[in-house]
Every structure is written in structure tokens, then in C-alpha cells.
Amino acid sequence: MRLQNILRNASKFRDVFDFGERQVTHWFPGHMAKGMKQMKANLKKVDCILEIHDARISFIEQNPLFQQSLAIRPHLLVLNKMDLADPSCKQRVLKQLRESGVRNVLFTDCLRQTDENVKKIVPLVAELIDSRPRYHREEEMSYCLMVIGVPNVGKSSLINALRRTNLKKGKASKVGGEPGITKAVLTKIQVCERPPMFLVDTPGVFPPAIENVETGMKLALCGTILDHLVGEDVIADYLLYSLNRLEKFSYVDRYDLGEPSDDIQHVLKRIAVKLGKTQRVKAITGVGDITITMPNYSAAAYDFIRAFRKGDLGRVTLD
Ligand SMILES: Nc1nc2c(ncn2[C@@H]2O[C@H](COP(=O)(O)OP(=O)(O)OP(=O)(O)O)[C@@H](O)[C@H]2O)c(=O)[nH]1
């Protein structure tokens, strides 16, 4: 019965999301461009780049300004927050990345105390560095790495996880739930004694050349961009569209919807009622003012988006 309902509804789901006239350029604050300059200058001092992406969106175009630097240095792609991504997509993602020339890839969950793949990072990086010429850093005994990635992807958490795993030491980097917390450049954080390995922490840098508005929206959904710059209503609608497209229907039970729906107003209304998020507003009628109870759509959208980000709507890979 349940499956029949879902299949009946599937034909009613949108095939494409209407982004309207949205432009992504104003979603990226100016401090990111400033960070890019700092990062380019720092790149000269590093032996290997740890590029960190959200495992739910693996195929972000590389920033053209870094392509050259990335090409001449060993490079490891860390797909973090794997605990929130769909594990059944792993092999497809790896294949697609391999086809586009990205060979060194690890999936991580930095919040897990003992993540096997976090343990693999130091040996793999040492191997990658030793297998290639180090140019002007040939004499250097220690390894220096740089972590790069968009805001809120887990750069600070990865650094802390590396220290926890290899040095049995605690936090070196501030970790935040809002994008853009890593602002100051912390020079050289030790992550391993043998071999001596250091990291340069950098501000979260957003690639300015996002290939389309949909990539921007996926990044917004995963918390890379401050919500108010994009609009929680449209993020919530894109989330609903994505869950239906990917056939991830756990939201139906969570919010007692009975069956999947592609109508965000309907879904938000039900979420608001379920969570008791209603507000009393005055309405003017022909026979005088009355007070009516309305669903609080903003509070419902907030809950829906947060539930997705925490993994409460299931493990979802958006790409
Ligand atoms: N579920 C999950 N959450 C994670 C993981 N890694 C980091 N987070 C969470 O993601 C949020 C951002 O983590 P940070 O380490 O501050 O990310 P950042 O890239 O340094 O962020 P900026 O400072 O904004 O550039 C925090 O709420 C972390 O707890 C992970 O592997 N899994």
C-alpha cells in the first residue's frame, strides 16, 4: 500500500527545479576572495594539498586559480561527512572521480573518534610526497600540508581529527556550525611527530566559478552559504525536490505526512502543525479584525533543513 502510494506520487514529482532568475554571485562574501590571495601565497610553502569536500556533493569544479598549483603538487581529496552521505553511491563517485583524473580519494567522518580513513591520511600523504620531486623543499625534513575547501565542510574538524589520531592531542582549530568560522590563518599546526607533519589552516575558500546555480543550491543545502543569503524557503523547497528525486522518503513518516508530496507549502504546513510551530496573526475581514492561527512556515523550513543537515532524513548524496 505504502509503495503504491509512493509510486503513484512519483509521477507527480517535478523533473527539474525552477531556479527562476537566481544569481549565485552575491551568495559569496568578500572575505572569501581575500582568503584566496592568502592561500595562493601559502601554497608555495606546502608539499601536499588536502582538498576537502562534502561527501554529499563530490563534484564541485576545482577553482581555476588553483588548478595549476594542484596539478604540480601531490593532492589528496577527502570526502568528509560520509556519515551523512549515501554509502551505496561510493563506488559510482570514485569511478567518476577517477575518470576525471582524481585518484587519491578518502571518505571520512571526522566526528567519529576512530575513523579508519582518518588514520590512513598521514601515511598516504607521506607516500604521495616521497613519490614526487619536492623542488625547493628537497632539504626539508618535515612535511607541510594545506587543507583547502569551501566553508563549513569540516576543515577544522579534520585537523582536530588528525591531531587526535596521530598525536593523541586535542583541539587546535576552532570548529563552528556556521560557514566562515575559519578566518585567521593559523600558521603550522603539528599533526604528526613521526614523520614530522604540519598543516597550514586556511580560511574556507569558495570557488567563485560555480558551474551553475544548482551546484550553488546544493552547497547552500549542506550549510556552506549563510542561509539568509539564499533564503530558507527556497532551500527547503530544493531539499524536498531532492529527497523526492532521490526517493528518500523518510520525511513522510518523520512529519506524519501519510504520503510523499512535491508541494513545499503543504509539507511545511504539516511540519509546522506536527512541531506545534504556529503563530497567531490578525486578519482584517469585512466584519472586523479577527485573530487566526497560522502555520509558522519559516520555523518549519528551519527544522526541515536542520534535520537534513544532521542526517535525520537519511543518508543522502546529492550528486
Ligand atoms: N556529521 C558530520 N559533521 C561534521 C563532520 N566534520 C565536521 N562536521 C560538522 O560540520 C560543521 C563544520 O565543521 P568545521 O570543522 O567548523 O568546518 P570548517 O570547514 O572548518 O568551517 P569554516 O570555518 O566555516 O570554513 C561542524 O558543526 C562540525 O561538527 C563529519 O565528518 N560528519
Binding-site residues for GTP, in ranges, read 80-83, 152-157, 204
> CATH code at 296?
1.10.1580.10
- Ligand 1 in reach of 32 Cβ (< 6 A): no
Domain count across the chain:
2
pLDDT at position 292: 84
Q: Considering the domain boundaries, does residue 233 fall inside one? A: yes
**Judgement on whether residues 61 and 173 belong to the same structural domain of the protein:** yes
Provide the phi-psi class of 301: left if phi over 0, else alpha when psi is between -120 and 50, else beta: alpha
Helix (H) or strand (E) holding 123: helix 116-130
Residues 6+ apart with CB under 8 A from 8: none
Distance, CA 177 to ligand 1 centroid (Å)?
Answer: 7
Q: Considering the domain boundaries, does residue 317 fall inside one? A: no
Q: What is the pLDDT along the chain (319 residues), one digit of tens a residue?
A: 466 665 666 667 898 998 887 777 677 666 566 666 677 777 777 889 898 999 999 776 666 666 666 667 788 999 999 999 999 999 999 999 998 888 899 999 999 988 999 999 999 999 999 887 766 666 677 898 988 888 888 988 998 899 899 987 666 555 555 555 454 444 678 889 888 998 886 555 655 456 678 888 998 999 988 888 889 999 999 999 999 999 999 999 999 999 999 999 999 999 999 999 988 888 887 777 888 888 999 999 999 999 999 999 999 999 8
pLDDT at position 87: 96
Distance, CA 161 to ligand 1 centroid (Å)?
Answer: 11
- Between CA 106 and CA 280 the distance in angstroms is 50
Collapsing DSSP to helix, strand or coil, 295 comes out as strand
> CATH code at 67?
3.40.50.300
Q: Candidates 78, 175, 201: which one to mutate for ligand 1, based on the most atoms within 8 Å of Cβ?
A: 175
**Judgement on whether residues 196 and 243 belong to the same structural domain of the protein:** no
Q: Give strand ranges (E) for 193-309.
A: 197-201, 278-285, 288-295
The residue nearest atom 21 of ligand 1, judged by CA position, is 152
Widest Cα–Cα separation across the chain: 87
The residue nearest atom 1 of ligand 1, judged by CA position, is 81
- Ligand 1 in reach of 175 Cβ (< 6 A): yes
**Judgement on whether residues 243 and 295 belong to the same structural domain of the protein:** yes
**Judgement on whether residues 56 and 156 belong to the same structural domain of the protein:** yes
pLDDT at position 207: 53
pLDDT at position 186: 45
**Judgement on whether residues 89 and 189 belong to the same structural domain of the protein:** yes
Question: What residue numbers bound the domain in which 17 lies?
Answer: 2-22+212-309
The residue nearest atom 26 of ligand 1, judged by CA position, is 177
Neighbours of 274 (CB within 10 A): 14
Among 146, 172, 200, the domain boundary falls at: 200
Q: Considering the domain boundaries, does residue 314 fall inside one? A: no
CA distances from 304 to 17, 242, 248, 252, 319 (A): 18, 13, 14, 12, 20
pLDDT at position 185: 43
pLDDT at position 27: 73
